[in-house]
Chains A and B, each alone.
Chain A
Amino acid sequence: MSSNVLADQAPAFTERSVDLEDRDIRRARRQSQVIRLGSIAALIAVFAYFSAVAPGFANLGNIANVIEQSAVLALLAFGMSIVVLGGGGDVIRGGIDLSLGANLGLCVAVFAVASNAGFSDWLAVAITFGTGAAVGLLNAIAVVGLGVLPLLATLAVMNICAGAELVLTQNTVISTNSPLLGSIVGLSWLGLSVTDWVLVAATVVLIVLVQGTRWGLRLQAVGGQRQAARAAGLRVQAYLAGTYVAAGLLAALAAILQAARLSGSSPGSGDILLSVVLTSLMSTVFSRRLLPTIGGTLLSVLFIGSLINGFQLLNVSSYWVNGVQGVLILFVVAVRSLSTRRGGA
């Protein structure tokens, strides 16, 4: 075969493959749009149903309650989404931070102990954020520095945090009271509590940071195409490490809200990991590219919060919520693996 023939055939070949690729991309896009619109429709349907049937569901006070009850979970889920965004969506090898719940528990304990030791509120807050960031840094060292799988690295750090919490609290309730905690529980503005406003502010800041800044876009590149990002000269390791530290800081912020709600630290308060994983996974069905987003995460958290709230208002046993959460996980994971399989074929 002469080189001439090859040269003649090449353009046709390329055109056909571009054509195929286009069709694949279009199909994938259509598919994800169906998933996204379907999920939003399901969300609206559930909200509409509860508003119509559950007494008091749509009251402003009740909605404020749901937001307040969701705040701690939402902040942790934001952390998880950022880690997944930077580390990639593969559940086994991608980014995941299993230490978030335990980090929350540890930070609540640290705040309570620091507060009771006579430190001022602001010093206690600083120590708490320091703790959260240190745990994030530990994750970063294990994942980025030592190259341990995030799933295993953060599992180990989860145990370290849980152990440290036990050492601090002796597994007992440590109650604390401070002006800061008092105002978090007591103050409100426009019908929303301080906790509500913290969540609103955190959401806005993170949406801008992740979806609107250079850091956020590069982070998405690191998570989506690590080789390409590295080739483009991005400091991939630094971005990855940053996600774990950011998640740690969010756990610390959540911890201060939690300490206000529980009037201190209570054993088992970090027992929230499954919901964090679920809501972060769920957030992907609200995005065009099936990636976790901050907005999607907030929607998922509010969705779960409304389900729990709506069930209680309808006097349906809270035991059903566990089952519903399980079904949701299965649904989301199924959608994701189906779309990846088709995309890969």
Chain B
Amino acid sequence: MSFRKRLLAGLALTLGLGSLAVSAAQAQDAPSLKGKRIGITVAGTEHYWDLKAYQGQIDEVKRLGGIPIALDAGRNDSRQIAQIQTLIAQKPDAIVEQLGSAPVLQPWLKKIRAAGIPLFTVDTISPYSINDTTSDNYSIGEKLALQLASDIKGRGNILVFNGFYSVPVCAIRYDELKLVLRAFPDIHIIQPELRDVIPNTVQNAYSQVTDMLQKYPNKGDIAAIWSAWDVPQVGATQAVLAAHRTEVRTYGVDGSPDVVKMVADPASPASAVAAQQPYLIGKTAIDTVARYLAGDHDLPPYTFLPAILVNKQNAADAAKALGQS
């Protein structure tokens, strides 16, 4: 299939809101976790996605009668490693690890398995994980890129935030962008790429984009701004508005409620955001753990949860489907 055809197909699929309601995970209830201790270690929770996925896990462990040992590393790799180290000594029945930097975490995830503790992950690709619950980031990255290419009519310069290529899901989305752009030779990524940061993501993205808008002062110099998640998109959108350059469109991933609202606003330059279902992702990860601990060891390496591309046309309906309004 040519990329032009995929573009059309992708846009047609975009509105598959109905798919959100049905998910294999919800269809049958998970076995009990009574008396089981489940370690949950997350890189941080300051972002909407992180927090919802974390809460989804904790709530589901409690709902199934288990005891969550929930650890938030506050975006500090050393702290997360210390927490994992202590967690291994606590010998829980299973450990779920969510997000973080893959190269930093891998040796410690290996130690979890070496200690004989079943390891599951949320959004972290690892050879040591029995099952990774995540959105289909290949499709997310492709749909978002196709929407961008379509909106700017296949030509123009774009700014790209690529600060977290070490986080596997961000790498997939970025790689998909590059793949789609191969079919659009008139779309150019402005070099050097921008680096999004944590913390102060919004303020930092705002000032970086403000600088770039000054460096490229004419209408049409910059067609769009892409980021692998939606917090830089917030800063970028605000900077575009403040500079009265609303012809510059912004794109991101995750679908935090404030960003979905921005996309719904016809006057906002926020053009699209790929919205995930983080709470359901967290809940599903725990259901998978429960099935494994109940004896089902025939699990696939990935459990994908559907995401939807929220754009100007479907934003109002999407917010409802995502349970945000």
Could you tell me which A residues sit within 8 Å of B by CB distance? Answer: 55-56, 59, 61-62, 65, 68-69, 72, 170-173, 175, 185, 258, 261-264, 266-269, 271-272, 308-309, 312-313, 315, 317-319
A10 to B105, CA, bound (A): 74
Q: Are A262 and B86 in contact (CB under 8 A)?
A: no
A34 to B165, CA, bound (A): 54
Q: Are B72 and A312 in contact (CB under 8 A)?
A: no
A79 to B87, CA, bound (A): 30
Q: Is B113 an interface residue (CB 8 A)?
A: no
Q: Are A172 and B163 in contact (CB under 8 A)?
A: yes
Q: Are A268 and B77 in contact (CB under 8 A)?
A: yes
Q: Is B51 an interface residue (CB 8 A)?
A: no
Chain B residues whose CB sits within 8 angstroms of the CB of A61 once the complex forms = 89
A62 to B87, CA, bound (A): 10
A173 nearest CB across to chain B (Å): 4
Stretch with Cβ within 8 A of A (4 or more), from B63-71, B209-217, B226-234, B313-321:
B63-71
Q: Are B76 and A268 in contact (CB under 8 A)?
A: yes
A56 nearest CB across to chain B (Å): 6
Q: Are A170 and B195 in contact (CB under 8 A)?
A: yes
A319 to B46, CA, bound (A): 13
Given A65-B89, A175-B103, A262–B81 Cβ distance below 8 Å?
yes
12 inter-chain pairs at a CB distance below 8 angstroms, sorted by A residue, are A61-B89, A171-B197, A172-B163, A172-B164, A175-B104, A263-B103, A269-B78, A312-B87, A315-B69, A318-B71, A318-B83, A319-B72
Chain B residues whose CB sits within 8 angstroms of the CB of A175 once the complex forms = 103-104, 166
Given A56-B89, A175-B104, A266-B101, A261–B163 Cβ distance below 8 Å?
no
Could you tell me which B residues sit within 8 Å of A by CB distance? Answer: 67, 69-72, 75-78, 81-83, 85-87, 89-90, 101, 103-104, 106-107, 163-166, 195, 197-198
Closest to A175 in B: B103
Chain A residues whose CB sits within 8 angstroms of the CB of B83 once the complex forms = 312, 318
Q: Are A171 and B163 in contact (CB under 8 A)?
A: yes
Q: Are A69 and B85 in contact (CB under 8 A)?
A: yes
A173 to B77, CA, bound (A): 11
Closest to B195 in A: A171
Q: Are B72 and A266 in contact (CB under 8 A)?
A: no
Q: Are B104 and A312 in contact (CB under 8 A)?
A: no
Q: Are B166 and A172 in contact (CB under 8 A)?
A: yes
A59 to B89, CA, bound (A): 9
Closest to B106 in A: A263
Q: Are B85 and A185 in contact (CB under 8 A)?
A: no
A72 to B107, CA, bound (A): 19
Q: Are B75 and A268 in contact (CB under 8 A)?
A: yes
A12 nearest CB across to chain B (Å): 63
Chain A residues whose CB sits within 8 angstroms of the CB of B72 once the complex forms = 318-319
Chain A residues whose CB sits within 8 angstroms of the CB of B86 once the complex forms = 62, 65, 69, 309, 312-313
Most buried by B among A69, A173, A272: A173
Known A175-B103, A268-B75, A317-B70; further 8 A-B contacts with Cβ < 8 A: A262-B77, A262-B78, A266-B101, A268-B76, A268-B198, A312-B69, A312-B87, A315-B69
Closest 6 CB pairs of A and B: A175-B103, A173-B166, A69-B82, A266-B77, A173-B101, A171-B195
B84 nearest CB across to chain A (Å): 11
Q: CB within 8 A of B85: which of A65, A171, A313, A315?
A: A65
Q: Are B104 and A262 in contact (CB under 8 A)?
A: yes
Given A61-B89, A171-B195, A263-B103, A315–B78 Cβ distance below 8 Å?
no
B50 nearest CB across to chain A (Å): 15
A324 to B101, CA, bound (A): 28
Given A266-B104, A268-B198, A261–B75 Cβ distance below 8 Å?
no
Closest to B45 in A: A319
Closest to B196 in A: A171
A266 to B102, CA, bound (A): 11
Q: Are B67 and A315 in contact (CB under 8 A)?
A: yes
B278 nearest CB across to chain A (Å): 20
Closest to A309 in B: B86
Chain B residues whose CB sits within 8 angstroms of the CB of A55 once the complex forms = 90
Chain A residues whose CB sits within 8 angstroms of the CB of B70 once the complex forms = 317
Chain B residues whose CB sits within 8 angstroms of the CB of A313 once the complex forms = 86, 90
Closest to B91 in A: A56
Chain B residues whose CB sits within 8 angstroms of the CB of A261 once the complex forms = 78, 81
Q: CB within 8 A of A263: which of B67, B90, B107?
A: B107
B209 nearest CB across to chain A (Å): 16
Q: Are B163 and A56 in contact (CB under 8 A)?
A: no
Chain A residues whose CB sits within 8 angstroms of the CB of B165 once the complex forms = 172
Chain B residues whose CB sits within 8 angstroms of the CB of A319 once the complex forms = 72
A277 nearest CB across to chain B (Å): 17
B90 nearest CB across to chain A (Å): 6
B232 nearest CB across to chain A (Å): 13
Chain A residues whose CB sits within 8 angstroms of the CB of B69 once the complex forms = 312, 315
Q: CB within 8 A of A173: which of B67, B85, B87, B103?
A: B103
A262 to B81, CA, bound (A): 8
A171 to B200, CA, bound (A): 13
Chain A residues whose CB sits within 8 angstroms of the CB of B107 once the complex forms = 185, 263
Q: Are B195 and A172 in contact (CB under 8 A)?
A: yes
Chain A residues whose CB sits within 8 angstroms of the CB of B77 once the complex forms = 262, 266, 268-269
Chain A residues whose CB sits within 8 angstroms of the CB of B85 once the complex forms = 65, 68-69
A308 to B85, CA, bound (A): 12
Chain A residues whose CB sits within 8 angstroms of the CB of B87 once the complex forms = 312
A307 to B43, CA, bound (A): 20
B34 nearest CB across to chain A (Å): 17
A42 to B76, CA, bound (A): 29
Q: Are B103 and A264 in contact (CB under 8 A)?
A: yes
Q: Are B71 and A312 in contact (CB under 8 A)?
A: yes
Closest to B86 in A: A312
A128 nearest CB across to chain B (Å): 17
Chain B residues whose CB sits within 8 angstroms of the CB of A309 once the complex forms = 86
